[in-house]
A and B are shown apart, each in its own frame.
Chain A
Amino acid sequence: MKFVNEYRDQEASERYSQMIHDITTKEWNIMEVCGGQTHAIVKFGIDELLPKQINLIHGPGCPVCVTSLELIDKSIEIASRKDVIFCSFGDMLRVPGSKKDLLSVKADGGDVRMLYSPLDALKIAKDNPDKEVVFFAVGFETTSPANAMAVYQAKEQNIKNFSILVSHVLVPPAMEAILSSKQNRVQGFLAAGHVCTVMGYNEYYPLTKKYKVPIVVTGFEPLDILQGIYLCVKQLEEGKAEVENQYVRAVQRDGNLKAQEIINRVFKIGTRKWRGIGEIPDSGLVLQDEYIHYDASTKFGLAELVVEEPKECISGLVLQGIKKPNECAAFGTLCTPERPLGATMVSSEGACAAYYRYRKN
Chain B
Amino acid sequence: MFKILRLEFLFNRWQLLTVLAIFTAYFAYMAYQIDSPRIFVVTMSIMIGLSMPFIILGREDKFKTAALMCSLPVRRTTIVLGKYAATWGAIGLGLGYALLFKAVFPFSKFAIGEILTARNFLVSLFLISLIVAVILPFTIRFGLTGIIILLVSGQLLGILALILTQALGGASNPMRFFFRAVKSGLQTLLTREAAPGFQLTLVAAIVAVNAASLFISRALYARRDL
Partners in one complex: no
